[in-house]
Amino acid sequence: MSDPSPTPRPPSRPLREDEWVALIVAFVGFGAMGLGFALRSGDGSAGWLGDLGRDHAAPAIAQGEGDNNTEGAIAPDRAVEFAPFPKPTVTPPGAAPTSPPRSGVDGQGDGNGNDLDQLDPAAIAAARSAAQTTPVPGSTDPAADPTAEGSADPSPAATPAPPPPPTFEDVPEGHWARPFVTALAQQRIVAGFEDGRFLPDEPVTRAQFASLITAAFGDRPDAAPSKSFTDIPEDYWGKTAIARAVQLGFMKGYPDGSFQPDRPIPRLELAVALSTGLQLAAPATPQTVLGRFSDGNSTPTWAVPKLAAAADRRLLNNHPDPKRLDLAEVSTRAQVAVSLYQTQVLLDLAPAIESPYLSP
């Protein structure tokens, strides 16, 4: 059987105008779909489109995810949004610690991987201000915590050594009262004169004794009411010290209302003042105590309990003969200094100093 002859094609015809429009619309639609797919892919396939292929929205950097985000540069005309500080990197046990990446050429980043050199000036100022004023969670500020590593030594400054005790040229080594005078001078209870002398053999007036009492016992509570005296004017140099010595109970005036501030204080008055001010109880047999002294029987009756109380506690002294009271003699600066130091020993405020010139 012979092959059939091919079927003749129908004659072609030109496209109508509406068919051309449909064809063009189809091509444009498919092209737009392809372009949109390329722009959304975000994998760099649309890099040839230049800046049209980039997302202009400011990148939101989530907490803990921006440490290594150094890809690309943020354009200066874009808003910069800084997230909270990143979470600290935990180094596994046994692993060597790693330093965080430094962004930018000079390593001055904002903590989120963004190079500050490529930000606008306002953003740079905001980033650096936040880094300086906001502490990283879990971190310690050495300036605020003295126990933090690298902080300054929190221990207080060393107390300077006390100055050496003053020395007096007229109380040299070997002077019978030197240890007592030196100790009281170091406590600022007694002082010397501008020429470097102490004048140990000079008599002590009642006003001067009141000043010494105030220096030694001024912080004790009052024991007597204040009192004014007819011979103590308002501008007298020792008015305040005299008033304080009276309030402390160490001194009194005379029956005529005077105090006689410039009168040298006798040894008997010195002993009675110390015994009264310290409220010392009389010994059981005061006459026996006074019998230790060669002139003890010359003591006035009214002063026997007070004098015996002072002698029994070794508040009295005499040089060169400690077995004499010499009650009518004036008290010298050295003798008063020794007696005042002995009161400090009695009150457990100073260590005892042995001397052969203390009362037996």
Mean model confidence pLDDT for the chain: 76
* CA–CA distance, 267 with 178 (Å, rounded to integer): 20
Helix axes 333-346, 267-277, angle to 10 degrees: 20
Q: Is 217 exposed, middle or buried (0-12, 13-18, 19+ CB in 10 A)?
A: buried
pLDDT band for position 163 (cuts 50, 70, 90): confident
For the stretch 221-236, pLDDT in tens is 999 999 999 999 999 9
Give 202's DSSP letter.
S
* CA–CA distance, 101 with 14 (Å, rounded to integer): 68
* Residue 335 confidence (pLDDT) above 90: yes
Cβ(282)–Cβ(349) under 8 Å?
Answer: no
For the stretch 46-83, pLDDT in tens is 433 334 344 444 444 344 443 444 434 333 343 333 33
Q: What is the sign, positive or negative, of the torsion defined by CA atoms of 276, 281, 286, 288? A: negative
Question: What mean pLDDT comes out for the span 266-293?
Answer: 98
* CA–CA distance, 286 with 311 (Å, rounded to integer): 9
* Residue 44 confidence (pLDDT) above 80: no
Q: Is 335 exposed, middle or buried (0-12, 13-18, 19+ CB in 10 A)?
A: buried
| 96 vs 32: which has the higher pLDDT | 32
Question: What mean pLDDT comes out for the span 28-40?
Answer: 58
Q: What is the pLDDT of residue 95?
A: 52
Residue tagged 């050295």 (tokens): 334
* CA–CA distance, 278 with 288 (Å, rounded to integer): 22
Angle at 208 between CA 204 and CA 214, to 5 degrees: 130
Q: What is the pLDDT of residue 130?
A: 53
Is the pTM here over 0.85, yes or no?
no
For the stretch 89-103, pLDDT in tens is 445 555 555 444 443
Angle at 204 between CA 297 and CA 325, to 5 degrees: 15
Q: What is the pLDDT of residue 156?
A: 66
- As given in the structure block, the two tokens for residue 144 are 């605020």
